[in-house]
Structure 1
Amino acid sequence: MHLSSDQPSARSAYASVRRCTDAVLYSSGLVAAAAMALTWATFLFWHVHIPLHLAAMIFSATLFLYNLDSVLPYKYTEQQVLSTRKLWMLHHRRQLLLLALLSLGVAGVLFLRDGWTHLTGFLGHLAAISLFYSLPVVKRQGQWRGLRDVPLLKAFLIAYVWSAVTVWVPALYLGKPVGSAVVMLLFARRFFFILAIAVVFDIRDYTKDRLGGTRTFPVLLGVKWAKLLALAALALAAVFVPEGLSAVHIVVLTLPLLLTAILVWFAEESRPDYYFSILADGIMVIQFIAVYLTF
C-alpha cells in the first residue's frame, strides 16, 4: 500500500518539474540567461563584474526578442508536424506575448535610465537585424521573407548579433574602442563559437527549413558537412586567444569549445528537444563558468 500510494505522488512531482522546466526553456529563459552570462564573461576578462542593471537589460531584451519571434505565425505553419517545443509555444502564445511586452518595457526603462541613448544607432542596427530576422523585409521568389531566409545568412546573423551584444556592449560600457585589437579578438572568438552553436540549431530545424525554403548550411551542404563546418568554426575560435593568458587559462577556456565540438558531432534532428534547449543553450553558460573560474 505504501509503494502504490507513493507512485501517484512521484508522478505528480515529476510532472510538476517537467512543466517548470518546459516553461523556463521554451519561454527562452535559459537563452536570456546565456546572453547575460556571455556578456558577464566579457566583463570578467577585464576583471570587472557586470553591473546589475546592465545584466537585467541584456536579459530582458533577449527575452523580448526571442518570445516575440516565438509567437509569429510562421513558427506554426511551415512544418507538417509540430515538435513538443512548438506545441508548448502554440498553447502558451498569449503568455509568451505578454512576457515579451513586459520584457520590452523593462529593457526600455533600463535603456533610458542608464543613458544609452547616444548609442541608439549602434544598438538600433542590432535590434533591426533581430526584428527583421523573421519579419518580412526581403522579397524572394515572389514572397516577402525575413532575413533568415536569405541563403546561408541565418547562422551568420545569429553569430553577429550575439557577438556584438556580448562583446561590444561591455567594451562600450567600459570605454574601450570596439575596433581595438583585443576587442576584435574577443569578438572573433565569440563569433565563431556562436556560429558553431547556430549550426547545431540548424541541424535541429533541418526538415522545417528544407520544407520552408530556408537554405541553411545543413540544407545546402548536408548535415555531415554542416557539422564539419561547425567544427572548423570552433577550431578558429580556439585560435583567437588574447595575449598574456597563462597555459592554465588557455586550457580552461578551451574546455567549453571541446564540449561544444562533442555537442556538434552528436547533433541529429531526431534528438529530443531537451538536447538542444538544455545542452546547446547551456553550453554558453558553461563558457561563462569557465571564464568565471579562470579570471
Structure 2
Amino acid sequence: MKKPVNTFLRLVLHSNLIIAFAAVLLCLASEVQAGILLRFQSFHILVFAAALSEYSLHRLLKYYSLVRDGRKKRYSWLFSNQPLAWLFFFIPLTTFAVSFFFVDTPVKWIIMGTGAMALMYSMPVKGVVGFLSLRRIPFVKTFWVALVWSLVTVIVPLTGNSGGIPAGKISWIFIERLLLIFPLAMLFDIRDTDSDRKDGIRTIPVVFGEKMTRMVVVIFVFVFIFIYPVTAGDFVLHSHFLPAILWSLPVLWFIYRKPDSENPLYYSLLLDGSLILYGFYVIAGGFIFNHFNNFS
C-alpha cells in the first residue's frame, strides 16, 4: 500500500498538477476579491491547461539541454518516466487548443501575450535560441515570473467577467498578486542558484547570496500581509488579511526550516501548495462572508 501511495505522490509532485490547480484557484480568488459570483467558465480550463503545458515544456527543455548523466542526476523521475512527462505536455496542450476557441477575444489576446512571455522565459539560455531567453537579462527572471502569474490569474478572470469592476479594485488585486508571487519566485531562485550561476543567469540570490535573499523574502511576505490594511485602512478579513496570514505560515516555516529547502520536492509541496491554500482561503472566506450577509 505504501509504495502505490508514494508513486502517486511523486507523480503529483513531478507532473506540475499542483501549480496548474494553483493557477485556477488564484483566478477564482481574484473573482471573489472583485465581488464576482463564482461560476466555472471556459477560461478556467484554458488557464489550467496553459499552466500545465507550459511548466511541462519548461521542465522538458531544461531536461534535454543537459547531457545524459546530468539528466539522470538532476531529473531522476523525468529520466525514468519520459513518456508520461510528454503526456503531461501534449494532453493539456490539446486541451488548451480546444478551449482557446471558447473564450472571449480579449482573453485570447491576454493568453497569447502571456504565452509568448512564458515561452521566452522557458527558452534555454545556451544554444541556438539562447539569445531569445529573457533569463539572460540580470534580475529579470524573478520579476518576469511574478508578472506573468499576475496577468494570468488577475487580468484573465476579471476580463472574462467584464462588467463594472472599478479599475482601482483591479489594480489593487493585481498589486497584491505581484506581492504574493514575487517572494515565492525568489525562494525558487534560491533552489536554482547553482544551475543559474553555471548558466550565467544573474538572479537576486546569485548576486546577493542566499541569506540576504531570505531576508528580502520575509520583508515581502509582511508587505503582502499589511499593504492593503495600511494603505486602504481596511483589513478586509475574509478576502485578504486572514488568507494572507494563513498563507504566510507555511512560507515562513519553509524559510525558517532551512534543511527542508534542500529537497526540491518541498518546493512543490510547500510553496506551490501554499498558493492552493491561499486561493482556497479567499474562496472560503468569500463564501462565509456572503452567507452571513444573507442572514443579516
What range describes the TM-score normalised by the shorter chain of this pair?
0.7 to 0.9
Match of residue 196 from structure 1: 183
Aligned 8 A contact 2:239 2:285 in 1: yes
Flag the 1:176–1:241 CA change in 2: closer, same or farther, 3 A: farther
In structure 1, how many angstroms separate the alpha carbons of the residues matched to 2:121 and 2:81?
22
1:144 to 128, 131, 143: 131
Flag the 1:34–1:249 CA change in 2: closer, same or farther, 3 A: closer
Match of residue 12 from structure 2: 24
Aligned 8 A contact 1:156 1:195 in 2: yes
Match of residue 72 from structure 1: 61
Flag the 1:265–1:196 CA change in 2: closer, same or farther, 3 A: farther
Alignment of 1:1-295 (within 5 A): 13-45=1-33, 46-73=35-62, 77=66, 86-114=75-103, 116-135=104-123, 144=131, 146-175=133-162, 180-241=167-228, 245-247=235-237, 250-255=240-245, 256-267=247-258, 271-295=262-286
In structure 2, how many angstroms separate the alpha carbons of the residues matched to 1:294 and 1:279?
21
In structure 2, how many angstroms separate the alpha carbons of the residues matched to 1:261 and 1:176?
38
In structure 2, how many angstroms separate the alpha carbons of the residues matched to 1:221 and 1:104?
38
Deviation of 1:38 after TM superposition, in Å, equals 0.8
Secondary structure of residue in 1 paired with 2:38 = coil
Deviation of 1:271 after TM superposition, in Å, equals 2.1
Which AA in structure 2 matches 1:133?
Y
Flag the 1:246–1:201 CA change in 2: closer, same or farther, 3 A: closer
Flag the 1:193–1:207 CA change in 2: closer, same or farther, 3 A: same
In structure 2, how many angstroms separate the alpha carbons of the residues matched to 1:75 and 1:234?
35
Give the gaps of 5 or more residues in structure 2. Answer: 287-296
Flag the 1:148–1:82 CA change in 2: closer, same or farther, 3 A: same
Moved more, 68-77 or 52-61: 68-77
Using the aligned pairs only, state the percent identity: 25
Q: Which has more helix, going by share of residues?
A: 2
Deviation of 1:161 after TM superposition, in Å, equals 0.7
Aligned 8 A contact 1:78 1:212 in 2: no
In structure 2, how many angstroms separate the alpha carbons of the residues matched to 1:120 and 1:240?
32
Aligned 8 A contact 1:188 1:240 in 2: no
Secondary structure of residue in 2 paired with 1:215 = coil
User: Normalising by structure 1, what TM-score?
Assistant: 0.84
Aligned 8 A contact 2:27 2:154 in 1: yes
In structure 2, how many angstroms separate the alpha carbons of the residues matched to 1:146 and 1:17?
38
Secondary structure of residue in 1 paired with 2:61 = coil
Deviation of 1:27 after TM superposition, in Å, equals 1.0
Flag the 1:78–1:156 CA change in 2: closer, same or farther, 3 A: farther
In structure 2, how many angstroms separate the alpha carbons of the residues matched to 1:83 and 1:110?
35
Which AA in structure 2 matches 1:187?
F
Aligned 8 A contact 1:79 1:211 in 2: no
In structure 1, how many angstroms separate the alpha carbons of the residues matched to 2:205 and 2:153?
26
**Deviation string, structure 1 residues 62-87 (Cα, Å, up to 9, x no partner):** 11101111211556528986687721
User: Normalising by structure 2, what TM-score?
Assistant: 0.84
Matched pairs, number:
281
Give the gaps of 5 or more residues in structure 1. Answer: 1-12
